[in-house]
């Protein structure tokens, strides 16, 4: 099983879309292993977006993410990173396909509702930035046999 970080950004929270978006991940079969409703400190945002430092959008992005609380999620499932990225859709709602989170809930070319890790290495780094050791929960999902092929669970 793979874990990934998802952040429901300030626009998702201010538009009261957190439950609807989280529900889509659960309906897909992904397991919640960590959650935090938090206002991310600027220093943490600067670490999280360090790869973008120096780009024209960096300061605006960090400021935007600091404006409002966010919901930080750790999700787990088979191919969780690729599945979440596909569910999120293209970066901006105006270009995202209907049926994706951004395609269904977004239209902006600047606000994009959600962040998701883009690789296993990024997921490991991002999960460690937002969750302390012991904060992610390990448990058996009773209905997993109904989500995955039974042979895949062995």
Distance CA 26, CA 22 (A): 6
Q: Which domains does the chain have, with CATH numbers?
A: 2-153 (3.30.70.141)
Catalytic residue among 77, 114, 115, 127: 115
For 9, list phi and psi in degrees, rounded to 5. Answer: -75, 170
Q: The pTM is what?
A: 0.93
Q: What is the pLDDT of residues 79-137, one digit of tens each?
A: 999 999 999 999 999 999 999 999 999 999 889 999 999 999 999 999 999 999 999 99
What is the longest distance spanned by two Cα atoms in the chain? Answer: 49
CB 48 within 8 A of CB 122: no
Residue 147: Cβ within 10 Å count: 15
Q: What is the pLDDT of residues 65-95, one digit of tens each?
A: 999 999 999 999 999 999 999 999 999 999 9
Active site residue 115: yes
Distance CA 21, CA 144 (A): 21
Distance CA 57, CA 79 (A): 30
């Amino acid at each position: 099983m793979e874990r990934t970080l998802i952040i429901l950004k300030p626009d998702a929270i201010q538009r009261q879309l957190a439950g609807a978006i989280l529900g889509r991940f659960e309906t897909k079969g992904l397991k919640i292993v960590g959650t935090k409703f938090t206002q991310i400190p600027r220093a943490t945002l600067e670490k999280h977006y360090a790869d973008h430092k120096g780009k024209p959008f960096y300061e605006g992005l960090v400021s935007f993410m600091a404006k409002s609380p966010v919901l930080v999620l750790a999700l787990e499932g088979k191919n969780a990173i690729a599945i979440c990225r596909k569910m999120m859709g293209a970066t901006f709602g105006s270009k995202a396909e209907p049926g994706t989170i951004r395609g269904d809930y977004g239209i902006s070319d600047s606000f994009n509702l959600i962040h998701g890790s883009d690789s296993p290495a990024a997921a490991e780094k991002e999960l460690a930035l937002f969750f302390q050791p012991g904060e992610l929960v390990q448990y058996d999902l009773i209905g997993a046999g109904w989500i995955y092929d039974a042979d895949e669970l062995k």
